[in-house]
Each structure stands twice: as C-alpha cells, then as structure tokens.
Amino acid sequence: MYPFRQGSFAPKNCWYVVANRQDVGRELLGRTVVNTPLVIWRTQGGEAVVLDGRCPHRHFPLAKSQLEGDTVRCGYHGFVFDASGQCVEVPSQDHAPRACRVRRYPALEHGLWLWVWVGDEDKADPALLPPLSEIGLEGEGLTGTPLIRREAACRYQLLNDNLFDLSHLAFLHGSSIGTRENASTPEELVKRPGFVSSIRRIRDAPVPATMWQAMDGYDRIDRAMGMHSYLPGFHAGTTEIAIPASHPTRGGERLMWNRVYHCITPCTPRTTLYHFAVAVAPGVDTAALKVALDPVIDEDVFASEEIEKIIALYDGDPPPELMVKSDTNAVEGRRMIQAMMDAESQGG
Amino acid sequence: MYPFRQGSFAPKNCWYVVANRQDVGRELLGRTVVNTPLVIWRTQGGEAVVLDGRCPHRHFPLAKSQLEGDTVRCGYHGFVFDASGQCVEVPSQDHAPRACRVRRYPALEHGLWLWVWVGDEDKADPALLPPLSEIGLEGEGLTGTPLIRREAACRYQLLNDNLFDLSHLAFLHGSSIGTRENASTPEELVKRPGFVSSIRRIRDAPVPATMWQAMDGYDRIDRAMGMHSYLPGFHAGTTEIAIPASHPTRGGERLMWNRVYHCITPCTPRTTLYHFAVAVAPGVDTAALKVALDPVIDEDVFASEEIEKIIALYDGDPPPELMVKSDTNAVEGRRMIQAMMDAESQGG
Amino acid sequence: MYPFRQGSFAPKNCWYVVANRQDVGRELLGRTVVNTPLVIWRTQGGEAVVLDGRCPHRHFPLAKSQLEGDTVRCGYHGFVFDASGQCVEVPSQDHAPRACRVRRYPALEHGLWLWVWVGDEDKADPALLPPLSEIGLEGEGLTGTPLIRREAACRYQLLNDNLFDLSHLAFLHGSSIGTRENASTPEELVKRPGFVSSIRRIRDAPVPATMWQAMDGYDRIDRAMGMHSYLPGFHAGTTEIAIPASHPTRGGERLMWNRVYHCITPCTPRTTLYHFAVAVAPGVDTAALKVALDPVIDEDVFASEEIEKIIALYDGDPPPELMVKSDTNAVEGRRMIQAMMDAESQGG
C-alpha cells in the first residue's frame, strides 16, 4: 500500500516500541502491532511479558481479561496462560491441552520503552536496537521522560515521512517550534543500513515561538536541529541552541540541549501508535514541555490524518508524488523499509 | 464467514424471533433479518403482518412510513400496500400496477414472540417452532415477560457460541450470576436434529452474587443450570435451585425455578438482534430481575463485540480455534447450522 | 453503481455548482467534486480560482493551508502555488521545479454560484450553463439568495431522483409544502438534450401548510409547480400561485411567484453536496423562508440517506425498481446522465 508496493504494509522482523516502560505494570495493557493483538504485563518478579493477545479458544482479547499472579486468565471462559504463553488451566476440565498456548513475543526493555519483535523469533537480535549512547539516553547527563501517546487514524509511513523531512517545522509548526530557517537551511545527511539522519545548522536566526523563555534574553540564536531515524519507526531528534558566534563575549555558548524521541508503530494498515518522549538537562520543567509540545504532536497527527483522507479519494492509490531535494531521506527511508518487507516475503 | 464456511452467513429456511409480541401494534416496526429489510405491524383485526420493508418503487423503507388502517403508505411517494403486500394505490395515477407488490413473509405469534420465515415460503412449517411445553411457557405455572432487547455489533454466531458454552458464567459473569462451579461441573448433553442441550447439576455450592436475596438465608445450594438450544437461534435456559440434600430437614426443597430465553437473530453479516425474556413463578419481581440481568446481557454483548474486533484484524479469517470438551455443543451446533445453509444452497 | 451501470459514478464533462459565490472570498474553501479534492479562493483582483486541492508533494490538502496574496502556501512543507496552479516556491531550495504544479479547473461565476468543470478542459463550454433568463435570475424582477447547504451521506442520484419526481411533495412533505394534489395532478413534461422538466397545474385546491401566511386569506388556490432539470445536477423549480378562476372578481390574480434552485453535486460515490437557493419578489422575507424550508430539505436528505442504507443491505445492487408514469423524468434523466458517462468513457 502507498507509499509502498501493493501488498506491502509493514516489516515484522524488527523492534517496535509497544509501550512506555513506566506504563508496563500490574494492569494488563492491550496493543496491536502489525495486525497482531498483544497483551502486556509485568510479572511479580519485574519482567515485562508480551503474549499474543487472542485467546486461542474463542479469540477473546486477553488484554480485557484478568491478571492473576504471573498468569493471565481469559475473561470469557477462564483459560489461564502463564508468562511463557502455555495454557495451564482450562476450568471446565482437569487438564489443559499441551497444544493450548499463545505465542510469547521477544520483548526488551531498552531506554524508556518496551520493544517487541512480532516477526521470526530467531531473528530477534538485541543488537538491532538503537544504542542508548547514540540516542543520548546514556553519557550526556540528560534525563528521559515519556510525554505523549497518541493513536493516529492513518498509516504509519505518513508519520515516518513527517519525520524524514523536517522542513515541515517551518510551516506546520510555524507558530510553535519552527521558523522559516528550518526549511531554507541546507541539510547534512548521513545514511547507513537501516538508518538515515539529517542535521540543519541554522546560524544567527530568530527564536521559535515556544523557545523564548529558555533563551536568556537572546533574540537571535544558532540552532542545530537533527533527526536520526532508526528504521522502520524510531526517530531520535536533537536540538542544540547556542549564542551566535558574532556575539562579542559569549559567542558559541550553549543555551539549550535536548533530545526528543518519536516512536512510530504500525497497528493496522490505517492506524498507528505514536509514543513521544524527551530527554532534558537537569532542571528543565518537563510538565511545561508537555504543555508546549502537545499541540505540536497534534499538528503532526492532523497533517498525517488529513493526507490519509485525501488518499482515500483515490481508493488508496494516489497520483505519483513530486519529489524535491529535501525528500532525500524520505526516498531513502522508504526504500530501506520496502527492502525489509521484500526480504521477509522472500523468506530472507 | 467465520465460524462457517466462506460464503455462508445464515440460514433462511427457519423461524427467527423478529419482535416481542407485545411490541407489535399500531406503530410500524422496522427490522432486518438475514439482510432482508422488514416492516411489521398489527392489523385492526389483531393480526401481525410482516412485509418486505423496501418499497419496490424507490427502495424507501416502509418502516419509516405511515400506517393507514390495515395498509401502509410509503413515506416517500405515497404508494399504499395492503396486508398481503399488494400495492393498492399509486397516488400519481388512477390504477396501481398488479406487478407492484412486496413479499409478505410467513409470521407466527408463538410464546412471547413474533417469528418470521424469510426463506422459501412453502417450507415454513409451524411444527419447526420450539414447543411451548418444552420451553416452559405452558404447563409449569410460570409467567413469561420480555425483558431486554439489544442490537449487537457482531455476527450472530458469536452470541450463539456464547450460549452453547455456559462455562463462561464462571468468568464473564463471575461477579453476577456465575460461580466457578459453572465451569467445573460436568455437563449432561443431549442432541437431536436441530437441537442441542446441556445441563450442569451443581451440588452444595456457593450462591452467585445476584441470587442471594432469593435464597432464604441459605449460603450453599444445589443449582441445576440448563440451556436448550433450538437452532439456529433460540436458546431456552433453565435454573432450578434447591436446598442441598445434606440439610437435615429441608434437603432437596426447591427455592427457585425459572426460565430464560435468548433469541439470536442475524440482521446483517456483522449485526445481530438479541431478545431476552424470562418466565418466572408467581410473585417474582421481574422489574428487579431486569435490573439484575441487564448488566449480564451487556457482558455477553461486550464479549461478542470484542471478538468481532479481534476477527477484523485477520480480515475476517482468524486462526483455527482450539476446541476443548466444553465446546461439544458449539461444535455440534455450528455443524448443524452449516448443514442448514448447505441444504439451502443446494436447493434442498 | 446503482442506478447507473456498474462502474459508472458521475459525469465529469459538465458544470457542477461547487460553492455559493458569496462564500468564495479570502478564506480557502475545500470541496470534493467527483472524487477530486479542490481548493477555492478569490484573488485580490476578485477572480474566483479553483485548483486541484492535493499538494503534489505529499498529498496534503491545500484547503487546510494558507492564502498569501494571490497564492496558496501548503500548510505542510510550505510549497507555494499561484492562481494558475504553478508552484512558485519550494522553501527548502532555491528554485521550484517547473513540473511542480496543480491543475487549475475551469470555473465560472454564474447566477448565485461558482461552477466548476473537473473533466476535459477543452470541452468546458460556458454555453452549457443554464441560461439565467431561463431559470428566472434575469428578467423576472426576482432576487436570488442562497439559503441552505448540506452534505448528504448518499449518492447524488438519489437526490436527483427526488427532484425528478415531485409527487413526493404530497407525502414526504405532506405536512409542509405539499398536498395530495402534488401527486394526483397530471404532469406536463418537456425534454430536450440534457434537460427534462415537469409542471403540474393544480386548480382550485387546498393551501399547503407552509404557505398560509402568503395567501391573503384565500383557502383554495391555483398552484403551478414546476421543476426544470439541467443535467446532471441543477434543478430550477417554479411556484406560481393564483386566485382560482372561479372567483367572481379576482379570478386568476397572482398571489405568489418564486423560484427555487437545487444544486446537486457528487462528492464521493456515497456523499453529495447540496446547495439550495431561492429567488423571490421584492419584500419577501427570505429569513422566514429559510426557517420554513430548512426542514423540507432535511426531509429530502433523510429520504435519500435512508434509501442509501437500504441499498447497502444488497451490497449496492438492489432489486430492480418498479417504474410508474410519474417516473418518466427519472427514467429519462438517468438515461441522459448514463449517456454522458458512456460518452466520456469512450473518449467521446
């Protein structure tokens, strides 16, 4: 499906953020990842468990069921599954059949998130997770905090595309976090397998509306805005703000440094789970940041959902897009994700 | 469609409950049965009439039209149909064409309900209705009362399946009408053509939450719970409660005896009409019973609608189910309903 | 699709009302015409502009974007399009590619409306618009006023069919603008290429409920009700009311004379844009007219949406309709619209 080849929806042999770690506890969570219903909880020993969320008896959602110790009891006919997914009790008979089990999915707590792998289990390699040192959750003195979670009524790639091309900050977010320089400044691009990134180093330019308070009175700043995308759906952004080099005494001094994280997880072909988090220096008020950034994420979801509606007018097959230079990462990122899907369908 | 063969939705050569008799009167009722729109009313002479509900002129729903004496006048261009379905007036011309008619469906008032037959008229045999003496509306001194009507956003078989396996009382209704013994007690099963039934005789067990008031102070009881399913969609339940045999003086004395009726009628492939009624001994407060049982029916509809959502993730073709012993009636009941559909598609 | 041949939805080589002229100004309007998203505005010089509403870069709706002078700037990445549809700015680079453009559609202000032609541009002939003198917006001393705009959840032809057969006034609008004579009086029919009309001259008959106030005390009137349909979707109605000929002194004297306009524009296969306007003699209170006619249009939309729901039960392929004499214009009108679509698909 657009923008991928017909029949291509989303790769499965990859790690997706399925929840914030802090939200995984002693209440059952329900999520859908690439059309797979999941149930998630934390055992009494503290381990995060992700099982297939469909009771194999009658398809009832285990996420709408009951947690009992380290097991989940289906809310319909009471079948009990342990943390390995094995059914250990069928209340209407003495023994639970061995064949009664649900799949347990590889899941890892890493950074602020619980990640799940819904593809081939033997390919689930922790080394494929974004390194914490690379994404600024280790070694930079920043503290990470999950801020926002949304379910968007659009295909996931529209939210990826949004992040592959940050020139949209100048317009979609022109009244909040962007200025015209977010579009006009040239990008420095990097790509490697499964990864694309972009940095714009904006020099001696106006301060975006939402950042005034942190600017210490300066009304022109240097701003380096980066986005580092770990395919298929994790985007680590960087913001570094400094006093312009031309300043007689303080030129180059850093005023602000933070990280943002956009986790884009395909649920169904036209719905997407969106986790947004930040990592900030000591003393930064993340509650205020949430107030400032909530409407920004709303704008991204709005744009993506509007595009989904336009696509629907063309029965999901819109006319070809016109690509420009700032689409380099979108073109490259889509190509890599398509290649992941192609490899899977060829059993690769 | 699941759980039937691809292309199989619902049998038509059978009686379905289309309304409570008490609701059929001098106001037009609209119902949809197996994709067939219907209009229903009672003539001045007291006869219940079920006609095809689509005006053959422009497809306007006759159920949103006007009753005039023993005729219905289409609300759009005023075509008038008598109780036989013949058009007797076209207001824009002198004569109504003979060819202008809607089908009148066989319909019978039986028990608390009006039943309709939307299949081949010549096969509409009243002997196929559940005998009133069997379902306890005759000869037991009980009084029947319709209590609840719901439109559920799920395929009808999910509500049938719910009733074919009463072990769910122990869990889905564990805080109201069920206890663990509803699952653990063995079933006594009966089957004959077009019929399956199950009884669980629970001995000396705790009292379900909603039944305390009627238990005369006893906190352990004998409970016989039965469900007698007349395919494809009528389920007559029995509840009999007695003082445990071990009681020194009153052992075996009956404390409560009632009947419940679940009428499951397929509307469209993913919507279902659900009528629920009870038959109770003199003096039982049916208003209080409605208050107690409304949330129970809600739980059944909830479970079935949740399963419908899970099925949607698999494009309507979910993985095979795991069957256990308590599914005997579900397996048998589905097989019989599939056979009814197969016979129809072979013109049998 | 019903009532047209399978695969036929709506002609494109024709003028459709896309907006009231008075609504086209310095705020961007979004419309969808035959599955084509549009953006509409008025230039500083006063010209109405209709462009394709999908930004060719990422499909974002230009109607949710910003008007800047005589250009529109996409709300997503800031691409700027002039009134010819040419992209004149891509903010992330120095030059806008020549190939970056959206189609500008032929559009004309005519009568009370802006009309658009979404088909082959070289066929867009202004002579195909309904002549203002024919539809009473010139030469009759009447003043036109747009009154009502609706988006209906049904295919456009159901609203056309509604207007092709005014016998429905007697029933659907029997408590407002119609009496039984609207159905029983014979029609005078006219047809020519692309046009059908009907007039009913009702003599010495009761006054419809909504017209009492204007009747000067007369309780029986002569009423000529006409509908002049310019295919595929513009219907100009006439109402002329006079004192019956039998009156001793004032027989034949005109009491009321007005025009109504129904503009039916296909949006998507199952949604329709409906503009309604009137033209009235000096002194007529159009605000009161709006209050009286709002519920009448609601009844038309209600009937059409109800029919859409009935059609859905048959997977969009309902049983054949029964046609009667008053359907002459519906049959003829549908045939002409089907011929328009056939000519287009044959490249005619």
Q: Are C193 and C232 in contact (CB under 8 A)?
A: no
The confidence score (pLDDT) of residue C214 equals 76
- In terms of Cα–Cα distance, which of C210, C286, C276 is closest to C223? C210
Number of cross-chain residue pairs from B and C with Cβ atoms under 8 Å apart: 79
Name the 3-class secondary structure at A155: coil
A304 in contact with chain B, both atoms CB, cutoff 8 A: no
| C336 in the same domain as C244 | yes
Mutate to test the interface with A, among B155, B159, B160, B171 (most CBs of A within 10 A): B171
Domain limit, last residue, from B123, B157, B189: B123
pLDDT of residue A348 exceeding 70, the answer is no
> For A16-50, what is each residue's pLDDT tens digit?
999 999 999 999 999 999 999 999 999 999 999 99
| B214 in the same domain as B170 | yes
Q: Are C164 and C330 in contact (CB under 8 A)?
A: yes
| C139 in the same domain as C115 | no
Q: Are C273 and C255 in contact (CB under 8 A)?
A: no
Residue A71 CB: number of other CB atoms within 10 A?
A: 18
The confidence score (pLDDT) of residue B216 equals 81
> For B132-152, what is each residue's pLDDT tens digit?
999 999 999 999 999 999 999
> For C23-74, what is each residue's pLDDT tens digit?
999 999 999 999 999 999 999 999 999 999 999 999 999 999 999 999 999 9
CA distances from B132 to B46, B137, B286, C21, C43 (A): 21, 5, 20, 68, 77
Name the 3-class secondary structure at A56: coil
Q: How many domains does chain B have?
A: 2
What residues contact residue B144 under an 8 Å CB cut-off, 6+ apart? B111, B112, B137, B259, B261, B277, B278, B279
C171 in contact with chain B, both atoms CB, cutoff 8 A: yes
- The whole-angstrom distance between residue C41's C-alpha and the CA centroid of its chain comes to 20
Instruction: Give the range among A69-73, A76-80, B211-215, C97-101 with minimum mean pLDDT.
Output: B211-215
| A159 in the same domain as A213 | yes
Name the 3-class secondary structure at C151: strand
Q: Are B77 and B58 in contact (CB under 8 A)?
A: yes
Residue showing tokens 């867009």: C124
Q: Is C296 exposed, middle or buried (0-12, 13-18, 19+ CB in 10 A)?
A: buried
∠ at Cα A296 (A295, A301), nearest 5°? 90
Nearest CA in chain A to C93: A184
A68 in contact with chain B, both atoms CB, cutoff 8 A: no
Residue C77 is nearest to which of A165, A310, A318, comparing CB atoms? A165
SS3 annotation, B52-114:
ECECCCCCCEHHHCEEECCEEECCCCCCEECCCCEEEECCCCCCCCCCCECCECCEEEECCEE
In this complex, do C310 and B76 lie within 8 Å of one another by their Cβ atoms? no
The confidence score (pLDDT) of residue C160 equals 98
Q: Give the model's confidence band at A346: pLDDT under 50 very low, under 70 low, under 90 confident, else very high.
A: confident
Q: Are A143 and A279 in contact (CB under 8 A)?
A: yes
| C341 in the same domain as C238 | yes
B9 in a structural domain: no
C61 in contact with chain A, both atoms CB, cutoff 8 A: yes
| A209 in the same domain as A265 | yes
A183 in contact with chain C, both atoms CB, cutoff 8 A: yes
| C118 in the same domain as C21 | yes
Residue showing tokens 């009108």: C333
C176 in a structural domain: yes
- In terms of Cα–Cα distance, which of C19, C102, C113 is closest to C62? C102
A8 in a structural domain: no
| C234 in the same domain as C299 | yes
Domain limit, last residue, from C71, C95, C123: C123
A321 in contact with chain C, both atoms CB, cutoff 8 A: yes
C6 in a structural domain: no
B1 in a structural domain: no
Residues A65 and A74: their CA atoms lie apart, in Å, by 5
Residues B324 and B125: their CA atoms lie apart, in Å, by 35
- In DSSP terms, B207 is beta-bridged to none
Residue C161 is nearest to which of B58, B99, B100, comparing CB atoms? B58
Residues C213 and B83: their CA atoms lie apart, in Å, by 40
C58 in contact with chain A, both atoms CB, cutoff 8 A: yes
B3 in a structural domain: no
Amino acid letter, B75: G
| C307 in the same domain as C238 | yes
C5 in a structural domain: no
The confidence score (pLDDT) of residue A155 equals 98
Q: Are B237 and B20 in contact (CB under 8 A)?
A: no
Residues A290 and A278: their CA atoms lie apart, in Å, by 9
Amino acid letter, C343: A
Q: Is C23 exposed, middle or buried (0-12, 13-18, 19+ CB in 10 A)?
A: middle
Average pLDDT over residues C9-28: 98
Name the 3-class secondary structure at C54: strand
CA distances from B38 to A62, B50, B61, C312, C322 (A): 38, 7, 8, 15, 18
Containing H/E element for A292? helix A286-313
Is the predicted ipTM greater than 0.90, yes or no?
yes
B35 in contact with chain C, both atoms CB, cutoff 8 A: yes
| A148 in the same domain as A114 | no
| A173 in the same domain as A301 | yes
> For A292-311, what is each residue's pLDDT tens digit?
999 999 999 999 999 999 99
Residue showing tokens 């649920």: A267
- The whole-angstrom distance between residue C201's C-alpha and the CA centroid of its chain comes to 24
| A290 in the same domain as A211 | yes
Containing H/E element for C345? helix C328-345
CATH number at residue B294: 3.90.380.10
Compute and round to an integer the Cα radius of gyration of chain C: 22
Touching subunits of A (3+ CB pairs, under 8 Å) are B, C
The confidence score (pLDDT) of residue C28 equals 98
CA distances from C7 to C4, C11, C122, C324 (A): 8, 12, 25, 26
> For C214-250, what is each residue's pLDDT tens digit?
788 888 999 999 999 999 999 999 999 999 988 999 9
- In terms of Cα–Cα distance, which of A212, A142, A204, A201 is closest to A177? A212
CA distances from B74 to A265, A287, B64 (A): 51, 61, 8
Residues of A in contact with C59 (CB under 8 A): 307, 310-311, 318, 321
Domain limit, last residue, from B76, B103, B123: B123
In this complex, do C303 and B60 lie within 8 Å of one another by their Cβ atoms? yes
Q: Give the model's confidence band at A217: pLDDT under 50 very low, under 70 low, under 90 confident, else very high.
A: confident
- In terms of Cα–Cα distance, which of B267, B192, B265, B231 is closest to B343? B231
∠ at Cα C197 (C191, C199), nearest 5°? 130
Q: Give the model's confidence band at A201: pLDDT under 50 very low, under 70 low, under 90 confident, else very high.
A: very high
Domain span at C36: 16-123
CATH number at residue C58: 2.102.10.10
- In terms of Cα–Cα distance, which of C187, C203, C211, C185 is closest to C243? C203
Instruction: Dig out the tokens for C341 from the structure.
Output: 């679509």
Report the DSSP pairing between strands B71-73 and C187-192: unpaired
In this complex, do A35 and B170 lie within 8 Å of one another by their Cβ atoms? no
B59 in contact with chain C, both atoms CB, cutoff 8 A: yes
In this complex, do B91 and C180 lie within 8 Å of one another by their Cβ atoms? yes
Q: How many residues does chain A have?
A: 348
Q: Is C60 exposed, middle or buried (0-12, 13-18, 19+ CB in 10 A)?
A: buried
SS3 annotation, chain B:
CCCCCCCCCCCCCCCEEEEEHHHCCCCCEEEEECCEEEEEEECCCCCEEEEECECCCCCCEHHHCEEECCEEECCCCCCEECCCCEEEECCCCCCCCCCCECCECCEEEECCEEEECCCCHHHCCHHHCCCCCCCCCCCCCCEEEEEEEEEECCCHHHHHHHHHCHHHHHCCCCCCCCCCHHHHCCEEEEEECCEEEEEEEEEEEECCHHHHHHHCCCCEEEEEEEEEEECCCEEEEEEEEECCCCCCCCCCCEEEEEEEEEEEEEEECCEEEEEEEEEECCCCCHHHHHHHHHHHHHHHHHHHHHHHHHHHHCCCCCCCCCCCHHHHHHHHHHHHHHHHHHHHHCCC
In degrees and rounded to multiples of 5, residue C240 shows phi and psi of: -130, 125
Nearest CA in chain A to B172: A76
A1 in a structural domain: no
Residue B183 is nearest to which of A36, A61, A92, comparing CB atoms? A92
Instruction: Give the range among A191-200, A213-222, B143-152, C303-312 with minimum mean pLDDT.
Output: A213-222
The confidence score (pLDDT) of residue B73 equals 98
Nearest CA in chain C to A312: C35
Residues of B in contact with A57 (CB under 8 A): 321-324, 327
CA distances from B241 to A34, B225, B276, C289 (A): 49, 9, 21, 68
Residues C263 and B271: their CA atoms lie apart, in Å, by 36
Residue showing tokens 């390995």: A84
What residues contact residue A312 under an 8 Å CB cut-off, 6+ apart? none
pLDDT of residue C348 exceeding 60, the answer is no
> For B210-240, what is each residue's pLDDT tens digit?
888 778 888 899 999 999 999 999 999 999 9
Containing H/E element for A161? helix A156-164
Nearest CA in chain C to B101: C322
In this complex, do B310 and A59 lie within 8 Å of one another by their Cβ atoms? yes
- In terms of Cα–Cα distance, which of C103, C105, C101 is closest to C89? C101
Tell me what percent of the residues of chain B surpass a pLDDT of 70: 99
∠ at Cα A341 (A339, A344), nearest 5°? 110
In this complex, do C54 and A318 lie within 8 Å of one another by their Cβ atoms? yes
pLDDT of residue B348 exceeding 60, the answer is no
Residues of B in contact with A34 (CB under 8 A): none
What residues contact residue C252 under an 8 Å CB cut-off, 6+ apart? C222, C242, C243, C245
